[in-house]
Structure 1
Amino acid sequence: MFLKKLFGFGKDYNYYLEKADRYLAAERFADARIAYGEALEKLEASDAAVANLIGPVRQKISLTGNMLGQMNLVEAEYALSSGDRKKAEEHLRIILELADEANLRENAQKLLAGLDVAVQEAPAGTTVPACNNCGEQGPDAGNGYVPDLTDAISREDRLALYFQTLPGDLSARYAAMGEDFARGCLLNLEGDGEGALRVFEGISAGRESDILDYEKAILYFHQGAAEKCEHLLLKAGSLNPENALCQIGLVQLYTETGREAEALQVLERMVEGNLLPEQALLMQGDLHLQMKDESKAVESYSRLLTSPSLAKDAAQRLIPLLQNQGRGKEAAFLAKKYAKGCC
């Protein structure tokens, strides 16, 4: 009996269903999906008396796939906003592999189509532009991003996709900013930064808005006006401390201008203030690594190992660092645990 319990011999569908339901209640969707799959295998191999359970289990597998798809969409949007096209594409393809919810798949397909169009239209030897038509990392690396989709989808859809990549309540707030603001965003997406800045400056007259200040800050950065950019980002952050883009923009600005210590302070405030804390921890680890402080990077990444959405990314960064520190067993454990799955 002990060996059966230890190695799983003789476990029936009830065991796996109970296990899956516990995982689902704890929002461990990847683990739940695996357990439901094992339950389904047991049910399909059982007699007809339990055939009525097969449908509900398949529905649970579909549910977990859609939940994982939603999580991967968030990660794809974050990757796009950070200019990481490759990582975004990985998450989008995972959505198409796991999810069967129509709107979720449609959003993933549209974003993938945009990435494909951007690559096809990019001249040889160039990179696909990141957010706000920025080819390099800068303070807009936290901004929403949509590739050039001129031939793939309408301008209205492009703008909607752009807004969808924004974190928290910013998607709805951007959409409510009015027609002139939307026109400025489209100009910006189409590469006319100067035109966009004129529009944003025009509608800023006599109006205070963290969104407008943030968008103007990014455009001024592209013009080489780092001080103006910083002033506007700080002002936007004071108007709305919950606007995560302002903080991410400051992090990127400080990093680009050699002020890494200040960037780390902003990230720590984001973590303590529960403002995109997991993304802030990941950026914190990346920045420590950039500064050649592997021990601090390990601390930041290790704090993410319980994150449903970023544990895999953190583990992938941790494994080589642990190996460098002679912690081979821990590295091997992470490699085994995160070799499969998507989140």
Structure 2
Amino acid sequence: MAKQRTGERPRVTLNHLAARLKVSVTTVSNAFNRPDQLSTELRERVLAEAQLLGYDGPDAMARGLRTGKTHIIGVVLTEDLAYSFDDPIANRFLCGVAQVLDRHGHRLLLVPERSLRGTGSELMADGFVVYGVENDSSLVERLRQRGKPVVTVDFELPDLPCVRVEDRRAMHELSRWALDNTPAHFEPVIVSLRLERWRSQGEDGKPKLELMQHVRLDSICSALQEAGHDPEKVAIFDVEHNTQHHAEAVLEAVLQDRRPRLLLCMTDRIALGALTVAERLGLSVPGDIRIIGFDGLEEGQRRSPQLTTVYQDSQRKGELAACMVLGLDRAPRRTLTGWSIYGETCPPA
């Protein structure tokens, strides 16, 4: 039998702590793993005694092997981690997810989509929130085959719960407003996220997935048609990534060569890039050029001229996705309303 070394503190276990507090082992376990199951007073008493005895909590690896649960929720990201922390929309979404997970004793695992493929990382989490996806649904199907909860965000698949913003209506309404409030005989231009990256077609020639990029572009095109423009004749300029830097690189040439009167931008970061370039070239907004975006970023609302855009509540979107993957919300679909902000970059005519 192994002997305890002189001066070495006895190893405290879950059973020891429960016996000392005269509570059940389950109560002690809940204090660490399911805090919502206990009163605040009882949980604080358990944690205080644990700290006094030097007990850090149940062994997560052993608990996972024993119960088949890790209390980890994975968020699969289309972009890499650095982008997700830099992008205000992704950042607010992750804050919403994290707040719900914190309240219910779960941890957050961030997994870029490219690093998940072929690594077996899906074994680590109890469920997944898939925040956008590239090209097709094969990765989502792989996660679903594990029998774990999967929630999609900003795209839909049959038989999976989904959270998304009402992009189609909101983008259409704002685009039509911009077209109706821009002086006659003007050239509109669409500035989009790079669509080739997302165009994976099925046998019928249609996209396999109805992603945010497709929905917003379709909405802009329908507004153009209603306003008397031929969408096939309207120029579309693609931005590689949704950053202001990438947008500026594309728009520098567009505004110098074409001088369009209206830019229909798919996101606020693209629209903010357009504003920066317009100012650099000495163009007046909205006098020489009008601009709209989508997302409702604070940066676009604080600056002058104030950006005309659609606001989406990204934090709420994250909260709903987390509730759905934890089974707290059983709805098959949650759709958030986006509402227009009629700013100074595209005022009434």
Q: So what's the TM-score if we normalise by structure 2?
A: 0.29
Name the structure, 1 or 2, with higher relative contact order (CA <8 Å, separation 6+): 2
Q: Which has the higher helix share?
A: 1
Q: So what's the TM-score if we normalise by structure 1?
A: 0.29
> Whose Rg is larger?
2
Q: Which has the higher strand share?
A: 2
